[in-house]
Structure 1
């Protein structure tokens, strides 16, 4: 029979091996993308339009940022307010069960189904056409489960003594939520936003079917525009240039890393307040 110390050593070894495998896979992907795409990275590649001999990805970078900002502007208030209701106001019952069922269902739906729904409802039925706003609304539905569940956990982590102390001092329920609970849970909410950004940036099928693939800067949210993920897909699918596809993937990872770094810095400062 294996002793308790050996069991602990085996479990610890398994944990370390799993961690190294995870880091190794990430490093392998990054090294592959950087080594194959770094030769295509240049100022012209980052600032030129997508047409011509020296085609660039500048329109796709801007369209991606538009899509991130608009989809988060739609989904974050809805997701945070839903989480506040579930944690602070709702009592166990049919309404809560329906909301949780809807959240779990949204999380389980494949992205291509979101894309088909967005194309049929937003693009065709509502006549929004292939546009940034169609893509943003579709993506906002996709990231809602992430924002709701992560924000719920952040709100639950706030000690009940904070709530009790605020209410004992005469503050209303709403004042307590806005002034005490939300600031305390803000790092967790920012984590939800970071996870949502990763989902929005990396999505292809839903964006392809709603925002379109026009390789120019969208003049407004009602115009179509190609994102970096869609551009990467087209470059690889049509065999235009696998090096440019790797370079686009590198830029995509870089943008996500920069946004995550900024968000983490904001979360760290909020923790100190």
Structure 2
């Protein structure tokens, strides 16, 4: 697989775009990266099932870098709920390990693509409808946060996203303000990515027909270019998140997710 200038440009543009969205929406950029990396790998001879798995793993690896850049900008504005980060992180680490070390390796890429489409569509609908939580609803206690973190880490590991598509709706459902939810989701991206990346590397060691410069399921050239560019635009997105009205932020989030879910549904059905 040759790394011609066009490929570098494609990956750089993807990194700039996903970095901005990571800061703006707290989604770690994974929802954008997975479909586009799938397209890039498939167009360069990687089998459809393997392309989806590598896209998910590579997307998650870039979130290690994007989340740090994004959360710094949110933290400067005092928007991160670090109490929620501490409460959710233990469950996230456990759920991510279970997903990336076990279930991910057993499922076909086509089924992962269909799962991606279904869950992202559900999350987008919840955000688009903008249902108001009961005013008396509060953040759960320690056990509830660990359980919620486990679900977030597990689902993130299956779709290669930073968890914002689960954690942002969960936190707003618990009456956490949308801007705090987005900022806290950005901070959760790091433990989510860390737990899952370790699993993707270990689980992909014996996989056949990986493209050159792969580290387990992670495609290192894409990770390097995307991460380098995304850290430049993540702070810009974080600043924009604090100037947009709440309803508009939710609608932007939902609209992007619908488009990407439709593409991954097509990929999953066509490769069954």
- TM-score (structure 1 length as normaliser): 0.31
* Greater Rg by CA: 1
- TM-score (structure 2 length as normaliser): 0.31
